[in-house]
Structure 1
Amino acid sequence: MNDLAERVEEWMVGQMPIIRMHGGTSVVREADPEEGLVVVELGGTCSGCGISDVTAQNIKRDLIMDVEEVEDVQVKVPDTGDMGASTVEGGRGGELQFSTESSDHF
């Protein structure tokens, strides 16, 4: 893993503990320091969650502000129909957990 990817992973752990607290997972799929592009994928209970779009926007905004060479952030969140996918296997958050609750469960 490159240095930027490691720093983004550390940032995610420190800045976004709410993801894990709610049973979600995240993984850095790409971190290109030359392009300034970071791709983060959310999974677990983030899939189909009614506030995952807010979480994604917060990650985009804050990551660009906090990590100097990051200029563009893409956050991928599988929709409810993809909840069985293992796209975020190995991401932080421990075992993948999938919500069967509606998006208004908060």
Structure 2
Amino acid sequence: MSTQGLERQTRNYLSNNVPQIQQHGGNFEIREVDEEAGQVTVAIGGACSGCGIAPMTMKAIEHRLPESVDGVSEVKVVRAGGPRAAVMPSKIDEMDEMEEYEDYDPPF
């Protein structure tokens, strides 16, 4: 499988199984694909950068993407920063550490 194939599969998975990202004003970007290692890095941004459930969404993607896409063994999800970020980084760090996110099981 080519890197483009793995990237395309990842994009299809995110578009089809995590529609909340786009429906809620967020976006995702596949930042890096290492076909040989089976590693994919996905950035979520827009409204996701300040969303209270973004850490739960990130964990779900990290867990479920390898189960759903052939050739993926490791997924890293990061928040996009810069002008597309919707909230200050200090608030994002606080949200990532909230205990409420530990057992969340989103519907996708």
TM over 0.5: yes
Structure 1 residue matching 2:13: 3-state secondary structure: helix
Aligned to 2:44: 42
Structure 1 gap segments, 5+ residues each: 87-97
Identity of aligned residues (%): 32
Q: Which amino acid aligns with 1:17?
A: P
Contact residue 38 and residue 71 of structure 2 kept, 8 A: yes
Structure 1 segments, 4+ long, off by >6 Å, are none
Shift of residue 85, structure 1, vs aligned partner: 4.2
Which structure would you say has the larger RCO, counting Cα contacts within 8 Å and 6 or more residues apart? 1
1:99 shift after superposition: 6.7
The amino acid that maps onto 1:69 is G
Match of 1:33 in 2: 35
Greater helix share, structure number: 2
Unaligned runs of 5+ in 2: 93-108
Deviations 1:7-37 (A, max 9, x none): 1111110011010111000011112221010
The alignment partner of 1:62 has SS state of helix
Question: What is the root-mean-square deviation in Å for CA atoms of aligned residues?
Answer: 2.5
Match of 1:58 among 60, 76, 79: 60
User: Is 2:34–2:40's contact at 8 Å kept on the other side of the alignment?
Assistant: yes
Question: What's the TM-score, normalizing by structure 2?
Answer: 0.71
Q: Secondary structure at the match of 1:70?
A: coil
Separation of aligned partners in 1, 2:18 and 2:62: 12
What do residues 61-92 of structure 1 show as CA deviations (whole Å, max 9, x unaligned)?
110111131111000114xxx45248xxxxxx
